[in-house]
Amino acid sequence: MNKLVCIACPAGCEMILEIKNGKVISVKNNKCPKGSTYAAEEIESPKRVITTCVKTDLSVKWLPVKTSSPVPKEKLFDFLAEISKIKISKPVKAGDKIAEKLLGFEGIDLIAGRTIEI
């Protein structure tokens, strides 16, 4: 029997998992289906969304960004290092893709968090 706090949303359900051979067989105490998806992923290959800032030459010095999908947890700092190399010099809109396939990972893009017009 394993306990796991769900991080899929602020509710933070304290789930109870049954794990066999590194696989989740059952999840209890979760209020929504996101819990069981998260639990399986967390045990088998944990992932995290990265939020950070990248430098710009614009009127707002730092652009908040996030990854479009979670990145493998053990590679968090490799992704952070990669993101820190990016610099923005053209105006952006919230939701713009400012980098694609970070570290070559399909589906992991970098998304602008706000609009900077000048």
> Interface with other proteins by CB under 8 A: which residues?
5-12, 14, 48-53, 55, 60-62, 64, 66, 73, 80, 84, 94-95, 113-115
Nearest-approach distance from CB 106 to other proteins, in angstroms? 21
Nearest-approach distance from CB 5 to other proteins, in angstroms? 4
Please say whether the dihedral angle defined by the alpha carbons of residues 20, 25, 29 and 33, taken in this order, is positive or negative: positive
User: Where are the alpha helices (H) located in the chain, listed in sequence order?
Assistant: 33-44, 76-84
- Of 21 and 57, nearer to other proteins (C-beta) is 57
Nearest-approach distance from CB 34 to other proteins, in angstroms? 10
Nearest-approach distance from CB 85 to other proteins, in angstroms? 12
Beta bridge partners of 111: 66, 97
* Strands 87-88 and 51-56, bridge-based pairing: parallel
- Of 18 and 74, nearer to other proteins (C-beta) is 74
Of 67, 112, 66, 68, whose CA–CA distance to 90 is shortest?
112
Amino acid at 22: G
- Of 17 and 50, nearer to other proteins (C-beta) is 50
